């Protein structure tokens, strides 16, 4: 195996990794039950016996939260949380620059301004010191992201939030089942926002969930996702102006089936991640795992993050290293771009006048510069999707073998691919 696959040799791996999503008769039977019941939509009349309510209660309890509010996706959950917390036009919300654009577009949808604060250069997650430096007298909230399922530094960020009286919305779209110091992600801030989009570690194709320990916030969110209808027994005295963001019963049924294997698959990914981590540290090559943090007591591993060190691979650029590893049958990726450079976040003629105006007046994207995030996005960030961790130790050992092979023969890549 001295010749790299990208230059004509045989690849390390020709067998596909396990496919996602994982499903069996549980999903089929759950959906058939809902179809036969004739009750397919969301619980718009606040009736009893809905699967979406069962899902909300069980999911919240698993994450050590008192309340769960199901919704159509993990973008609107952040919008609902911001509205429930009173964030509105002209308010500032601190967000990290490395995430999907929804973390920053959710404030914009309410007329608030996302303010980008730099990330920790190792983890890629919002840095508490950078977040605090970005606070002004207009700052009302922050949305830290548990990137790849790895919990952000909640101790540091919650301390900042407490001292400055800020609302914290945990963007937990990647972090189903993760724990910080033995307690579930989504129960630490004022809100937790989860996604059930197709690639997530628990999925119904689309869908979302809010968690909170605050009764007033929970009641307000329940009303907001149900067109402003006040839930039974609520302390609310008037209906807020809401949306139809209800989660349909068909998706709730799928999610209850998915939830039944969440703990098992979380443990499987964690075991394979630990083995991969050990092997990569022994290899001591250009693909380095993130530093351990003993405060993380369970990690979801939506993806396995790596940091590329070109000097350990003859100065080979990250892009070419990734291409060579991919040719060996390993789905290594470069990770997320910074949001403020993502074309989807740039106002254009096709963008609504409201959003374009807000970006132009309240957020000068040309002036935003987060050096740690830009270096991660452009040079050092890499990752493996969660499905790579759903097999065996032998499967992840192929990852190590491919990285070792490319490292040993990097000199053969002197000619551009």
pLDDT tens for residues 164-193?
999 999 999 999 999 999 999 999 999 999
Residues near 194 by Cβ (< 8 Å), separated by ≥ 6? 59, 74, 77, 172, 173, 175, 176, 186, 208, 209, 210, 211
Q: pLDDT for 10-52, tens place per residue?
A: 999 999 999 999 999 999 999 999 999 999 999 999 999 999 9
Give domain limits for the chain. Answer: 25-259, 262-413
Which has the minimum average pLDDT: 1-5, 233-237, 320-324? Answer: 1-5
Active site residues: 200
Mean pLDDT of 293-316: 97
Would residue 205 be called left, alpha or beta, if left means φ above 0 and alpha means ψ between -120 and 50 degrees? left
- Kindly report the CATH number that applies to the domain delimited by 25-259: 3.40.640.10
Is 0.85 topped by the overall pTM? Answer: yes
For the domain covering 262-413, report its CATH number.
Answer: 3.90.1150.10
The answer to whether the beta carbons of residues 76 and 262 sit under 8 Å apart is no
pLDDT of residue 367: 85
The long-range contacts involving 278-283, CB below 8 angstroms and separated by at least 24 positions, are 279/396, 279/397, 279/400, 280/306, 280/400, 280/403, 283/400, 283/403, 283/404
**Residue 417: its pLDDT value, please?**
43
First to last CA, the chain: 19
**pLDDT cut 90: percent of the chain above it:** 91
Cβ count within 10 A of residue 156: 17
pLDDT, one tens digit per residue, over 230-267 is: 999 999 999 999 999 999 999 999 999 999 999 999 99
Q: Is the pLDDT of residue 156 over 70?
A: yes
Per residue in 376-413, pLDDT tens? 999 999 999 999 999 999 999 999 999 999 999 999 89
Residue 226 has pLDDT above 90, yes or no: yes
Mean pLDDT of the chain: 95
> Which is higher by pLDDT, 415 or 111?
111
Q: Rounded to an integer, what distance in angstroms lies between the CA atom of residue 192 and that of residue 204? A: 19
**Could you give the 3-state DSSP secondary structure of residue 243?**
coil
Whole-angstrom Cα distance, residue 243 to residue 161?
29
């Amino acid at each position: 195996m001295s010749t790299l696959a990208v230059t004509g040799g045989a690849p390390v791996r020709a067998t596909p990794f396990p496919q996602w999503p994982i499903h069996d008769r549980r999903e089929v039977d759950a959906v058939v039950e809902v179809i036969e019941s004739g009750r397919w939509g969301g619980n718009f009349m606040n009736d009893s016996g809905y699967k979406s309510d069962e899902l909300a209660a069980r999911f919240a309890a698993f994450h050590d939260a008192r309340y769960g509010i199901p919704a159509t996706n993990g973008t609107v959950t952040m919008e609902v949380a911001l509205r429930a917390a009173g964030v509105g036009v002209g308010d500032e919300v601190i967000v990290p620059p490395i995430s999907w654009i929804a973390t920053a577009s959710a404030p914009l949808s309410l007329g608030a301004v996302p303010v980008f604060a730099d990330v920790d250069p190792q983890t890629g997650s919002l840095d508490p010191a950078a977040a605090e430096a970005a606070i002004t007298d207009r700052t009302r909230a922050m949305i830290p992201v548990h990137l790849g399922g790895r919990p952000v530094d909640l101790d540091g960020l919650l301390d900042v939030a407490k001292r400055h009286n800020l609302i914290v919305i945990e963007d937990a779209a990647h972090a189903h089942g993760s724990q910080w110091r033995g307690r579930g992600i989504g129960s630490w801030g004022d809100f937790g926002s989860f996604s059930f989009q197709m690639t997530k570690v628990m999925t119904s194709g689309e869908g979302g969930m809010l968690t909170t320990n605050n009764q007033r916030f929970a009641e307000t969110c329940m009303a907001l996702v149900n067109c402003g209808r006040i839930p039974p027994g609520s302390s609310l005295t008037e209906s807020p102006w809401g949306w139809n963001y209800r989660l349909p019963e068909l998706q709730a049924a799928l999610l209850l089936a998915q939830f039944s294997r969440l703990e098992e698959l979380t443990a499987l990914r964690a075991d394979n991640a630990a083995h991969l981590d050990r092997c990569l540290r022994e290899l001591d090559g250009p693909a380095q795992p993130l530093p351990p943090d003993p405060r993380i007591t369970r990690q979801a591993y939506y993806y396995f993050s790596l940091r590329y060190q070109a000097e350990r691979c003859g100065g080979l650029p990250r892009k070419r290293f990734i291409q060579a590893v991919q040719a060996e049958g390993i789905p290594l990726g470069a990770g997320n771009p910074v949001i403020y450079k993502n074309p989807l976040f740039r106002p254009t003629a096709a963008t609504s006048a409201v959003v374009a105006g807000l970006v132009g007046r309240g957020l000068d994207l040309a002036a935003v510069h987060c050096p740690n995030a830009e270096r991660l996005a452009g040079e050092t960030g890499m990752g493996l999707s969660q499905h790579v961790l759903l097999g065996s130790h032998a499967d992840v050992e192929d990852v190590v073998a491919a990285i070792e092979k490319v490292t040993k023969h990097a000199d053969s890549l002197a000619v551009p691919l």
